Structure 1
Amino acid sequence: MRALYFICFVGIMILGSSCSYKQNQILFEKKAPIADTLSQTAATISYHIQPQDILQIRNLQNLKYIVDEAPTSNSSVSNGGSASGQGQTFQVEEDGTVALPALGHIQVAGLTRTQATKLIEDLYRKSLLKDPIIELKVINLKVTLLGEVKSPGNFPILKDNTTLVELIGQAGGLTPAANEKNIKIIRGKNKTQNVTEIDLSNLNSLSDPRTLLQNGDIIYVAQNKRAIRTDNLQNFNTWVQPALLLLNTALIIFTLSRQ
């Protein structure tokens, strides 16, 4: 009979422990120095426009140029397409030029967004518009966010100096299972890939240049140790619970047969 009580007690403890969980995240609490590395310097360089990039351009001063006056339902990204009042889209060609209304082909490859914006403003000012205010975005740039965030997926980078914290905010924040001390930024392709580990429990990570995101980055948020233990325990329970049930049933039958 004591063996029966013991088996039942163990079963109850295992079932109870599988349901217990406590969030254990501490963000931006401690202050620790961050090593000065070459990757920090590289991360602060602004993006330069490349062939095949897709530019979204509009003139904030005069909607008769660059942007259609009447919004359309066509949101496809193509050369000269419209994005429902957000600005027309133009693809940079292989030779590095982009064809713009009334200007023709303009060389933009190799320029930063700021440089390309100023160039287009100056050209329109000289030939067509009075005091144009050009807004230019490169809308094909994106990063991929995976792991323990509430809404993982692909996210566009529409401005320079987009940070890791901003991206996690767009994704709804970390899940309770996230390890804030182990967030990896994977950058580059093939043999040139490098991995940067970010500790968001460190307040200094907010000013860490390595957290400035670049096109094509893959960010992975790992599980914390508590979540890993919980998963392991749940996997253990998937086969222990039926075994305990079978054993309890056998013990009950055996006990009753002895009476």
Structure 2
Amino acid sequence: MRVLYFICLVGIVVFGSSCSYKQNQILFEKRASVVDTVSQKAAIISYRIQPQDILQIRNLQNLKYIVDEVPASSASGSGNNATAGQGQTFQVEEDGTVALPAIGHVQVMGLTRTQATKLIEDLYRKNLLKDPIIELKVVNLKVTLLGEVRSPGNFPIVKDNTTLVELIGQAGGLTPAANEKKIKIIRGKNNTQNVTEIDLSDINSLSDPRAYLQNGDIIYVAQNKRAIRTENLQNFNTWVQPALLLLNTALIIFTLSRQ
């Protein structure tokens, strides 16, 4: 009978250990050494426009202009009409120019969004408009967020200097299984990829230049150690529990047959 009780106890313990747990995230509490912003200041680099980029442009002084009031023949085939509130999109050609209504081809490759906005604004002011206020967005920029977040996937970079924390917020936050201390940002192309680890338990991560996202970044949030142990234990229980159940049943039948 003692053997029977022991096996039943083991079965209860194993079953109980397979239950889910709740892991509270510890964010922005620790204060580690101050980030060396001088040596890392190059990490905050405004994106520079490249060929094949898609620019969304509108004149805030007159939302209809560039969208409705310019004849279709004035615009290049690279431009696509949108609603007046959103502006029109134009693709940057391989030579680095973008064809805009009434002013023609404008060289924008290598310029930041702010520089390109000022250039286009000045050209429209000089050639056509009295007081244009141009809004320009690069709408094809994106990053990929994977791992232990509520809603992984691809996310557009809609503004300059988007941070890792802002992106995770857009994705609904971290899951209870996330390792907030080692969030990886994979940056670069082909053989020049670099991996940066950000510790979100450290409040200094909020001002870490490395946490400003760039086009094409891949962010991976791994599981924490407790989640990994729990998952391994659950996998182990998938075959241990049936075996224990079978053994317990056999011992019960054996014990009853001896009485």
Give me the whole-angstrom Cα distance separating, in 2, the residues matched to 1:105 and 1:12: 74
Task: For residue 64 of structure 1, report the CA deviation from its aligned partner.
Answer: 2.5
Give me the whole-angstrom Cα distance separating, in 1, the residues matched to 2:193 and 2:119: 34
**Shift in alpha-carbon separation, 1:247–1:139, aligned structure 2, 3 A:** same
Give me the whole-angstrom Cα distance separating, in 2, the residues matched to 1:34 and 1:220: 24
Give me the whole-angstrom Cα distance separating, in 1, the residues matched to 2:51 and 2:223: 38
Give me the whole-angstrom Cα distance separating, in 1, the residues matched to 2:246 and 2:46: 64
Q: Does 1:81 align with 2:80?
A: yes
Q: Secondary structure at the match of 1:132?
A: coil
Give me the whole-angstrom Cα distance separating, in 2, the residues matched to 1:37 and 1:159: 22
Q: What is the match of residue 123 of structure 2?
A: 123
Give me the whole-angstrom Cα distance separating, in 2, the residues matched to 1:224 and 1:82: 47
Q: Secondary structure at the match of 2:18?
A: helix
Q: Deviations over 1:151-203 (max 9, x none)?
A: 00000112111000000000010011111101000001222111000000000
Q: What is the match of residue 206 of structure 1?
A: 206
Give me the whole-angstrom Cα distance separating, in 2, the residues matched to 1:203 and 1:19: 32
Name which of structure 1's ranges 20-29 and 38-47 shifts more when overlaid on structure 2.
38-47
**Shift in alpha-carbon separation, 1:99–1:115, aligned structure 2, 3 A:** same
Give me the whole-angstrom Cα distance separating, in 1, the residues matched to 2:98 and 2:34: 41
Q: What is the match of residue 29 of structure 1?
A: 29
Stretches of structure 2 that go unaligned for 5 or more consecutive residues are 70-76
Residues 59, 67 of structure 1: 8 Å contact kept: no
Q: What is the match of residue 75 of structure 1?
A: none
Q: What is the match of residue 133 of structure 2?
A: 133
Give me the whole-angstrom Cα distance separating, in 1, the residues matched to 2:171 and 2:54: 24
Name which of structure 1's ranges 226-235 and 29-38 shifts more when overlaid on structure 2.
29-38
Give the TM-score normalised by structure 2. 0.93
**Shift in alpha-carbon separation, 1:221–1:83, aligned structure 2, 3 A:** farther
Task: For residue 40 of structure 1, report the CA deviation from its aligned partner.
Answer: 2.5
Q: What is the match of residue 153 of structure 2?
A: 153
**Shift in alpha-carbon separation, 1:23–1:117, aligned structure 2, 3 A:** same
Q: What is the match of residue 234 of structure 2?
A: 234
Task: For residue 10 of structure 1, report the CA deviation from its aligned partner.
Answer: 1.1
Q: What is the match of residue 109 of structure 1?
A: 109
Task: For residue 258 of structure 1, report the CA deviation from its aligned partner.
Answer: 1.1
Q: Counterparts in 2 of 1:1-259, with a 5 A limit?
A: 1-36=1-36, 40-68=40-68, 79-84=78-83, 85-259=85-259
Task: For residue 37 of structure 1, report the CA deviation from its aligned partner.
Answer: 7.7
Give me the whole-angstrom Cα distance separating, in 1, the residues matched to 2:39 and 2:58: 34
Give the TM-score normalised by structure 1. 0.93
Number of equivalenced pairs:
251
Q: What is the match of residue 73 of structure 1?
A: none
Give me the whole-angstrom Cα distance separating, in 2, the residues matched to 1:239 and 1:118: 66
Residues 35, 204 of structure 2: 8 Å contact kept: no
Give me the whole-angstrom Cα distance separating, in 1, the residues matched to 2:172 and 2:128: 44
Q: Secondary structure at the match of 1:106?
A: strand
Residues 186, 218 of structure 1: 8 Å contact kept: yes
Indicate the percent of aligned positions where both proteins have the same amino acid: 87
Residues 37, 208 of structure 2: 8 Å contact kept: no
Q: Deviations over 1:31-83 (max 9, x none)?
A: 111453888233211110000000011111102312347xxxxxxxx821134
Q: Deviations over 1:100-143 (max 9, x none)?
A: 01111100001000000000101111111121111111011110
C-alpha RMSD of the superposition: 1.6
Give me the whole-angstrom Cα distance separating, in 2, the residues matched to 1:11 and 1:133: 72
Give me the whole-angstrom Cα distance separating, in 2, the residues matched to 1:2 and 1:68: 87
Task: For residue 15 of structure 1, report the CA deviation from its aligned partner.
Answer: 1.2
